[in-house]
Chain A
């Protein structure tokens, strides 16, 4: 009987789908990595939150038929090793894009209006309506959206609704389609940096995007640029960002993701009044958590049934190989 191991308790909306299925057993680990790894060898399917999967892990799990993630990132999983073994890696595409796009807009508006700083001042009895930290509008500003997938497309549309001039960079997306969507294609993203008032990141983390925003990229940006990151922390070279904030090159940043999560207490980004930080909560809205759980449960069952939609796989080539 196939055995499903969950790294931690699954949202009831997804759990109900697994429980309704006869002929499988479901086990929930505590969320502690060591506990999960100890239980993994018996599993036919695993659902991962934060635990990393490498060759050594896979060697200990001979029954494994699917690696599923509660999320859309896959930087914690050795994808080539899974592919070599014919193991499908499933993510919850489509479940979190709306929530993450809204979060990017929340961070963008939040830095535009300096909410934490003003909220703290008002609650502390300091009323500075016209002489406080400078605030600005989205309308009329130019935004460069890097990554035009499910999330980036939504963010581009929302930015356009706010009257922003929207430039889009995505090497995997045809530029005529970006233009047809009403945006300005930016195939040379480094050149586009010089035009952007706002840069927002919506690309996955892989070797090609690690430290995409490094000291050189920051130097090419306009002085006073705003940066939003709801993608993955290491897409930005955090030390270079800190230096650019100190130098006043970057006027504000809204970050939902950090290089090290949870962050150390002395992360230098905590010291800036013009940086808004959230705890990788872009996909944590109640609606999103439920949708992700439903998708993850279906991915596991569909993979066990040998009928998973390749659209949810990071390595769809394993389906052809297995056939």
Chain B
């Protein structure tokens, strides 16, 4: 009988879905100690993975393993090559977090525009007045970098607020961007010179890492606002902190850092006009449930031989297994 091992609990509705199958057994490890893992991994046909590192040595011990289901979309901590060598699919939860992250990006834009954090602190201290400048989103120009599941939603929400929406994504045909009602930004420098707000929605790759550097910031309009709900490594943090200190960047809403948890010496912690969040964009109750349900559905689909290749990071194993 296939056995599912959850490395830390996932949403109870997903556990219930797994348990509703009479031919499947479920076990939850919490906490996940290396002793417990060593002891139980051999019995697992499927594992759900939150923040646990899944390396080649662990995969070697998982002699019955048929699927690894990542609770989330990133898989930096999983040795994909070792799984592929064994023909084991790694799934992610691509549909679970887009709504949540897009809302978070808009929240950071509005919080920056309205100085919500600063005014909240002043009001609670009974300081009443308009000494912090605020602005409307309507009529502003936003540059959305990355036009995937999240960027597409952010672009639509910005349009609903009456913003002019520029979109940059070298992997999306410009006519697709135009057809969606937005302005393709072929020339990055020209787009940066026009944008009041720049929001990042691309993955961290060799091509994008460190993209927001000194030259990028210099090309941006004075008074620009930067929103990052993508990956911390897209941004050269010291360059951003310097641009904030100089006032060239008027504000930033940051959910992600180059090193997480954020380190006490991170320069952004003491930069002016920043709103900082603990990589919580996808951590809403609804999103956590969707991620868990997606994991459970992938595991059951794998056991039933009907795994959707669109959620599989290494789909080549499906062809090989077929």
Contact = CB atoms under 8 A, between A and B. Distances in A.
Interface of A: 98-99, 102-103, 105-107, 109-110, 112-113, 115-116, 118-119, 121-123, 125, 127-130, 132, 134-140, 157-158, 161-163, 261-265, 267, 270, 276-281, 284-288
A148 B135 CA distance: 24
Given A98-B136, A158-B160, A279 B122 contact: yes
Contact of B119 (A105, A128, A279): A279
A102 B161 contact: yes
A99 B161 CA distance: 11
Interface in B103-161: 103-104, 106-107, 110-111, 113-117, 119-124, 126-130, 133-139, 156-157, 160-161
Contacts of B275: 115, 119
Interface centre among A106, A112, A263, A267 (most CB of B within 10 A): A106
Interface in B228-265: 260-262, 264
Contacts of B113: 102, 106, 285
A106 B279 contact: no
Interface stretch (B212-220, B282-290, B297-305): B282-290
A198 to B, nearest CB: 13
Contacts, number: 161
A139 B285 CA distance: 12
Given A121-B278, A161-B157, A278-B116, A109 B136 contact: no
Given A109-B110, A115-B275, A137-B103, 17 more contacts: A105-B106, A106-B111, A106-B113, A107-B116, A110-B111, A112-B103, A112-B284, A115-B107, A116-B116, A116-B120, A122-B276, A127-B278, A136-B284, A137-B99, A137-B286, A161-B157, A286-B135
30 contacts: A102-B161, A106-B107, A109-B103, A109-B111, A110-B107, A110-B110, A110-B111, A113-B103, A113-B277, A113-B280, A115-B277, A116-B117, A118-B277, A119-B275, A123-B276, A125-B264, A128-B278, A129-B260, A132-B280, A135-B284, A137-B99, A139-B286, A140-B286, A162-B157, A276-B120, A279-B122, A281-B119, A284-B130, A284-B134, A285-B136
Contacts of A287: 135-136, 138-139
Nearest to B135: A285
Contact of A115 (B116, B124, B288): B116
Contacts of A288: 136
B267 interface: no
B240 to A, nearest CB: 15
A118 B254 CA distance: 12
Identify the 9 closest CB pairs spanning chains A and B, nearest first: A262-B128, A127-B261, A161-B160, A109-B107, A106-B110, A277-B123, A122-B276, A106-B114, A265-B126
B100 interface: yes
Contacts of B122: 279
Given A106-B114, A276-B120, A278-B120, A119 B277 contact: yes
B126 A264 contact: yes
B29 interface: no
B276 A119 contact: yes
A32 to B, nearest CB: 15
B283 A129 contact: yes
B40 to A, nearest CB: 22
B314 to A, nearest CB: 26
A116 to B, nearest CB: 5
Contact of B103 (A107, A119, A121, A138): A138
Contact of A286 (B111, B116, B133, B280): B133
Contacts of B261: 127, 129
B284 A278 contact: no
Given A122-B262, A134-B285, A137-B286, A279 B279 contact: no
B99 A118 contact: no
Nearest to B100: A137
A130 to B, nearest CB: 6
B280 A129 contact: yes
Contacts of A113: 103-104, 107, 277, 280
Interface centre among B157, B280, B283 (most CB of A within 10 A): B280
A172 B274 CA distance: 42
Nearest to B124: A270
Given A122-B262, A285-B136, A286-B135, A279 B130 contact: yes
Contacts of B269: 122-123, 125
Contact of A263 (B107, B126, B134, B260): B126
B143 to A, nearest CB: 19
Contacts of A118: 276-278, 280
A128 B278 CA distance: 6
B79 to A, nearest CB: 23
A130 B51 CA distance: 11
Contact of B156 (A103, A115, A127, A161): A161
A280 B106 CA distance: 21
Contacts of B111: 106, 109-110, 115
B123 A279 contact: yes
